[in-house]
Amino acid sequence: MMYRIVISACILFLSQSLCATHNRAGEISFIQLDELTIRMTITTYTKTSSTSADRDSLAVFWGDGTTEFVMRTNGNGQELANDVKLNTYVADHTYPGINTYTISFMDPNRVENILNVNPPYSIDVPFYLETTFTFLNTQFQGINNSPVLLQAPLDFACVNQPFIHNPNAYDADGDSIAYELVVPLQTEGNPVPDYIFPDQIAPGPNNMISLDEKTGDFVWDSPKIQGEYNIAIRIKEYRNGILISSMIRDMQILVKQCDSQPPTIESVEEVCIVAGNFLDIEVEINDPDQGDLVQWTATGGPFQQSPNTAELSFDSTFNAVAFSTQLQWQTDCSHIRDQPYQVVIRAVDNSEGSTGLSTLKTIRIKVVGPPPLGLTAQSLDNAIRLEWDYPYACINPSDFFQGFSVWRKELSNPFVLDTCVNGLEGKGYEKIEFNTSANDGSQYFFLDEDISNDKAYCYRILAEFALLSSTGNPFNRIESLSSEEACLQLSRDLPLLTKASVITTDLNNGTIEIEWTKPLSSDFDTLLNPGPYRYVLKGGTNALNLAELPGAVFTQPFFSSPIDTMYIHQGINTLEEQFIYQLDFYTGSQSELYGSTQTASSIYLNAEPKDQRVELNWVFDTPWQNYSFEVNRFNPTTSTFDSIGTSITPSYIDTDLINGEEYCYQILAFGSYGIDNTPTTILNLSQENCATPIDLEPPCPPNLSVSSLCEKLSNIISPEDLVNSLQWINPDNDCNLSEDISGYNIYYGTDDDQFELIGTNMQVENLGFEHLVEEGQLGCYAVTAFDTNSNESPLSNVICIETCPQYELPNTFTPNADGFNDLFKPIKNIFVSSIDFKVYNRWGNLVYETTDPIINWDGNNLNQKPLADGTYYYTCRIYENSQGVEREATEALSGFIHLLRG
The DSSP secondary structure of 752-801, one letter per residue, reads: TTEEEEEEEE--TT--EEEEEPPTT--EEEEEEEEETT--BPPP---EEE
The alpha helices in 352-485, defined as continuous H runs, are none
pLDDT value, residue 10: 38
The 8-class DSSP code of residue 110 comes to B
Q: What is the pLDDT of residue 1?
A: 32
pLDDT the model gives residue 11: 36
Q: How far apart are CA 894 and CA 873, in angstroms?
A: 7
Cα separation, 231 vs 181, whole angstroms: 8
Phi, psi of 763 (to 5 degrees): -95, 95
Q: What is the DSSP string of 806-859?
A: EEE--SEE--SSSSSS-SB--SEEES--EEEEEEE-TTS-EEEEE--TT--B-S
Q: Which amino acid is at 186?
A: Q
Alpha-carbon distance of 635 to 616, in angstroms, equals 17
CA atoms of 631 and 644, how far apart (whole Å): 6
* 192 CB-side CA count, 13 A: 31
151-183 per-position pLDDT tens digit = 999 998 999 999 999 999 999 999 999 999 999
C-alpha to C-alpha distances, 453 to 18, 409, 456, 491, nearest whole angstrom: 87, 15, 8, 6
The per-residue pLDDT for 790 is: 84
pLDDT of residue 732: 56
164, β-bridge pairs? 219
With 0-12 / 13-18 / 19 or more C-beta atoms within 10 angstroms meaning exposed / middle / buried, residue 582 is: middle
At 32, give phi and psi (nearest 5°).
-95, 125
Distances (CA, A) of 172 to 144, 145, 151, 687: 9, 7, 16, 57
Residues of the chain below pLDDT 70: 1-21, 353-355, 413-415, 454, 712-720, 732-739, 751-753, 774-778, 882-885
pTM given for the model:
0.65
The answer to whether 249 and 25 have CB atoms below 8 angstroms apart is yes
Rounded CA-CA distance 495/344 in Å is 60
Of the candidates 455, 459, 478, 460, which has an alpha carbon nearest to the alpha carbon of residue 468?
478
pLDDT in tens, 837-856: 999 998 999 999 999 999 99
Q: Rounded to 5 degrees, what are φ and ψ at 2?
A: -60, -40
The gap from C-alpha 146 to its chain's centroid, in whole angstroms, comes to 24
Q: How far apart are the first and last CA of the chain?
A: 82
Contacts of 329 (CB under 8 A, 6+ apart): 278, 279, 302, 309, 310, 311, 365
